Chain A
Amino acid sequence: MGKGSKVFKYGDNVDTDVIVPARYLTTSDPAELASHCMEDIDASFVARVAPGDIMVAGENFGCGSSREHAPIAIKASGVSCVIAKSFARIFYRNAINIGLPILECADAAAEIQSGDTIDVDFESGAIRDLTSGKEYQAMPFPPFVRGIVEAGGLIPYISTKMRREGAAPAASTAHPANKTRRGGAAL
């Protein structure tokens, strides 16, 4: 763990329309999307955010539209991790698929305050609030999902898998995913 990252704290049900308003969806350029990130609920976010900063929020973060532009905008704004009580399911998938680190941890989401400095170990799920001195443990990803993250996201994962299996793949009962029972995360 390093010297810590600054926290931007938000409430429950932060939707993808406020993360990046649809009026800016005429582009998919990450830097341009990042320049409008959070502007409808926190107009000063873009000016204040620095690389490595962390977002902490309440329940159902990323609800609403499936726009991948939302996690792309957060990632491109320099945010290194989002911690929430819970995530909306499409946002959760999208974050994994594009490689934006996210952690579910109700206690951390409730107690960490805006402006706190925190340290996050994404691998272990350990969260340390350097301002309050409190420590938290988030649920780590299940193995199948870690496989996608470790491959660098869904695209390199699928690319490798398709090369291995040859052309015209279909659903395969032999795939590791079909042998994995009871994953821990909510997808």
Chain B
Amino acid sequence: MPMTMTQKILAEHAGLASVEAGQLIEARVDLVLGNDITAPVAIREFEKIGVATVFDRRKIALVPDHFAPNKDIKSAEQCKTMREFAKKHDIEHYFEIGRMGIEHALLPERGLVLPGELIVGADSHTCTYGAAGAFSTGVGSTDMAAAMASGTAWFKVPKAIRFNLRGALKGWATGKDLILHIIGAIGVDGALYRSMEFVGPGLASLTMDERFTVANMAIEAGAKNGIFAVDARTRAWAASVSSRPYRVYEADPDAEYERTIDIDLSSIMPTVTFPHLPSNARSAADPAKTPIDQVVIGSCTNGRIEDIRAAAHVLRGKTVAGGVRCIVIPATQNVYRQALREGLIDEFIEAGAVVSTPTCGPCLGGYMGILAKGERAVATTNRNFVGRMGHPGSEVYLASPATAAACAVAGYIVDPSEISEAPRRGTFESPAKATATGASQEHSK
């Protein structure tokens, strides 16, 4: 029975020789994730199961990132619930303030998600780790509780849509523009219950940070997961973050796909997704020059070092337009520190932006940049639903870090090339470094 990449990972984790679309399976999980919003509910449910402790204290990650550093007393109570649970069960991967970051940037950085692994997280953007060639998907708090107790989760094996990429992105077009384009093309339920599998010769031109951005927003097309074929770049990245062994899965050549969508990467243009659905993608070259009040650069979608470098490149030597608040939030302590070393934080401040320590904060209307009635924000985040960043009468426009920074300078929605000349592709990518412990052990399957 030929299988897709996702199906092979699910079969292996269910202890089955093969699986097919539609089949219900129970699979072993390699990591269970929760945050300060979802874990407290999961912990309450976990207590009802009646087990003494978690299935494996090394395979649970708890990250206070959404309303942390604590935004108010109630948030403090939720973080405390999670902290006390982590202490009681000696959870190895609990990340206190000072070591935390936005979960989906943090876990890959810490080498906790590798190719071929199966990860469930009580956060919809858990699908981010598909960039590393893992099967990862968002679940609810009750699923998280059951997985923490049993080390397993139930799934319906998904059908798949194949995205065959060719060519290379050019100019200011980035992975964010690619995924906004795709969601605009297929709709917010265009991949409902499906896997989105990214393959093809164009893959080689996408940096790891771009792949994380693309996989991150698979949920915005309704997908169960987004997953990238593993290549030399994935292997170099994996070796730089972990020395754990991992397994590479490849789709069978005759695997069944519901449809294949061919995309010429050179045709992707800087894109802005207008309110109030992640599928309202339009050209960033907005003829209406829609005026804006705020820019947010950060989040699990676009708060990685390449994103921060791209935003700094656009803002360098320029000033945030009068009447615009520009908020930059590096996604992890390491990203923050690297930006500091490279002088980027100083450049942001020089340009009139503010820089925050890691938090999901404004992305979901938590804090650190809430919008008033009638206000508009361009954000590098992932959702532009009604009320997502504040008042139900406010608006969120989704864009890449370069486009968002350009909008901050202009004070209205603009194509980044009008503000700053696009550098050569790859300028913002970090060179991959192998860990001191040496190259990872690897098997192909």
Contacts and interface: CB of A to CB of B under 8 A. Distances in A.
Contacts of B27: 171
B150 A169 contact: yes
Interface stretch (B47-55, B161-169, B410-418): B47-55
Given A17-B385, A93-B140, A172-B26, 20 more contacts: A21-B387, A21-B392, A26-B71, A28-B40, A40-B386, A59-B189, A64-B124, A67-B37, A68-B142, A69-B37, A89-B224, A90-B124, A97-B146, A153-B142, A161-B150, A171-B26, A172-B15, A178-B15, A180-B23, A187-B154
A175 B13 CA distance: 13
A168 B53 CA distance: 10
A97 B392 contact: no
A183 interface: yes
A31 interface: no
Contacts of B386: 15, 17-18, 40-41
Contact of B146 (A158, A177, A183, A185): A158
Contacts of A161: 150
Interface of B: 13-16, 20, 22-28, 37-38, 40-41, 44-45, 48-51, 55, 66-67, 71-72, 74-75, 78, 122-124, 126, 138-143, 145-146, 149-152, 154-156, 188-189, 192-193, 219, 222, 224, 277, 364-366, 383, 385-388, 392
Given A158-B150, A183-B156, A168 B55 contact: yes
Contacts of B67: 25-26
A66 B140 contact: yes
Contact of B124 (A66, A162, A175): A66
A169 B74 contact: no
Contacts of B75: 26
Contacts of A144: 24, 154
B14 A183 contact: no
Given A60-B188, A178-B16, A18 B193 contact: no
B15 A173 contact: yes
Given A66-B123, A162-B51, A25 B37 contact: yes
B41 A69 contact: yes
A163 to B, nearest CB: 7
18 contacts: A17-B385, A23-B365, A23-B366, A25-B66, A28-B41, A28-B44, A40-B387, A40-B392, A60-B188, A65-B364, A88-B222, A90-B138, A145-B24, A153-B142, A154-B143, A173-B15, A173-B16, A175-B26
A86 B191 CA distance: 13
A187 B193 contact: yes
* Most chain A beta-carbon neighbours within 10 Å: one of B71, B75, B387: B387
Contacts of B152: 169-171
A94 interface: yes
A94 B142 contact: yes
**The 8 A-B residue pairs with the shortest CB-CB distance in the complex, in nearest-first order:** A26-B74, A171-B28, A94-B140, A187-B156, A97-B142, A68-B140, A22-B364, A60-B189
B375 to A, nearest CB: 15
Nearest to B193: A186
B24 A177 contact: yes
B44 to A, nearest CB: 7
B24 A142 contact: yes
A173 to B, nearest CB: 4
Given A26-B74, A177-B154, A186-B193, A15 B23 contact: no
A178 B11 CA distance: 10
A18 B23 contact: no
A162 B149 contact: yes
A98 B51 CA distance: 19
A3 interface: no
A50 B363 CA distance: 33
Contacts of A21: 365, 387, 392
Given A26-B78, A183-B22, A13 B123 contact: no
A97 B38 CA distance: 14
A182 interface: yes
A69 B364 CA distance: 14
A25 to B, nearest CB: 5
* Most chain B beta-carbon neighbours within 10 Å: one of A60, A93, A94, A167: A93
A44 to B, nearest CB: 14
Given A41-B386, A86-B192, A159 B48 contact: yes
Contacts of A15: 383, 385-386
A63 interface: yes
A177 B25 contact: yes
A178 B26 contact: yes
A22 B142 contact: no
A153 to B, nearest CB: 7
A155 interface: yes
A77 to B, nearest CB: 17
Interface in A106-153: 142, 144-145, 148, 153
Contacts of B142: 68, 94, 97-98, 153-155
Contacts of B364: 17, 22, 25, 65
Contacts of B385: 15, 17-18, 64
A13 B24 contact: no
Nearest to B51: A162
B20 to A, nearest CB: 8
Nearest to A25: B37
Interface string A9-37: 00001010110011101111000000000
Nearest to A169: B150
B156 A66 contact: no
Contacts of B155: 187
A169 B55 contact: yes
A114 B222 CA distance: 26
